Homo-oligomer: A and B are copies of this chain.
Amino acid sequence: MKPNVKIAYIGGGSRGWAHTLMVDLAKEDAFNAEVYLYDIDKKAAEKNAKIGNDLLAREDIAGKHTYVVASAIEDALTDADFVVLSILPATFMEMQSDVHLPEEYGIYQSVGDTSGPGGILRAMRTVPLYKGFAQKIKECCPDAWVINYTNPMTLCTATLYRTFPEIKAFGCCHEVFGTQKLIAAALKEFSGIDIPHKEVKITVSGVNHFTWITKAQYQNIDLFEIYREFADRHYEEGFELTPALSYKNNYFTCSHRVKFDLFRRCGAIAAAGDRHLAEFCPGKWYLENPEKADKWHFALTPVSYRIDDLKKRIDRTEKLYTGQEPFTLRETGEEGVLLMKTLLGITPSFVTNCNLPNRGQCPDLPLGAIVETNAEFSANSLKPVIADALPPLAHNLVARIVNEQQALLTAILAHDYDAVFECFAQDPLVTISYEKARELFLRMMENTKEYIPYGEEYLEKQKQPR
């Protein structure tokens, strides 16, 4: 007897991850899912529902899952077994301001959705939404497993736990996989052994997009030592995993020079794309200006690219919706459906990295903060595996961010935007004067104020003399 599973998908009108989930579900027949799509853009959800349900007719598809549009979030959540959270807070117009307005002040951001000025402003829009989600989950499906995919990952997951401490939530991100691939490439280069990235056994610790590998092993080979030589050999020129893809022609790639440099400096393997890593470091290290990013071989992703890309994805979705284009069952590389199966007890327990409150798995970081380490997924159970303490210099970089995130969460939930600004002013990327920082913060807030509770009132008040 296959179990029947209700999945609530918040942000179900997405033209990206929603389709990815459909692909993975389509291949899966160990359970029967009813997927409730909820989105503030209900039209988009409806289109996705049709795309999903059209698959039922296809003979080449194993899984028979149905898609339902939820008019109200409660409809999606009530009695759900799983809740998937994957939203875009506001639009790319706001992200445009998040990422590019700071450039006027000499602050460059390669991504701008996690940390730094852009990440902070994005958090100001997202945290209040997540507080609402947590309250609804508490009411409608307190026992559901909740999977978050939205950035800023740490703060989204932290909001869920701060609002509803008993929630069974975790944050999923495959950023670490890229570094496992790099380590696998090092092994191949040094010994000829060619293994998939999942065979690179790692111990990870840190926060999302700023995780660090303290141990890497394949069978009885210590990959950490191999990586040490590899990083030295490629330090100057960098190393490209996919030769055709270079930071010069692809906005999401890098040559890992930042990673090699951080390894030399800190003694652990930073495990995210260089675009992310650079944003957690003091601003003058890797993001002083576009030339410096270029020197370190990574791209500053312009939001205009994302806007263009969204248009393409909307077009593609339209074609899927109308049947002009067939839905293809590509390899997604995502673990979401596998995690569900494991939590359902269908597949054996396994260990992978995810984002959870620190119960001691990061022995050198504050308890309660959301951290990313390995954890054991098994039948209706998710338990962190204890990681290593980070080397001191990596620890200090990470601790600074964790402390910022903790203060930021408190400040945003209290609608205390003076305190939010103080976090902003202490952020590693904000190397400008206090006065300039203040001006920038207020301008950024102005551009996104309608998405921020009491944002307008706050800005009005700033115009008065103290």
Contacts and interface: CB of A to CB of B under 8 A. Distances in A.
A391 B357 CA distance: 21
A406 B381 contact: no
A433 B285 contact: yes
A351 B376 contact: yes
Contacts of A430: 282
B381 A383 contact: no
A384 interface: yes
Nearest to A380: B217
B386 A361 contact: yes
A201 B343 CA distance: 11
Interface residues of A, number: 62
Interface in A390-433: 392-393, 395-397, 399-400, 403-404, 406-407, 410-411, 418-419, 422-423, 425-426, 430-433
A359 B425 CA distance: 31
Interface stretch (A126-134, A159-167, A218-226, A312-320): A218-226
A284 interface: yes
A203 interface: yes
Contacts of A392: 403, 406-407, 410-411, 419
* Chain A contact residues, majority secondary structure: mixed
A61 interface: no
Contact of A404 (B387, B396, B407): B396
A431 B431 CA distance: 6
A3 interface: yes
A241 interface: no
Interface string A352-381: 000000011101000000000010101111
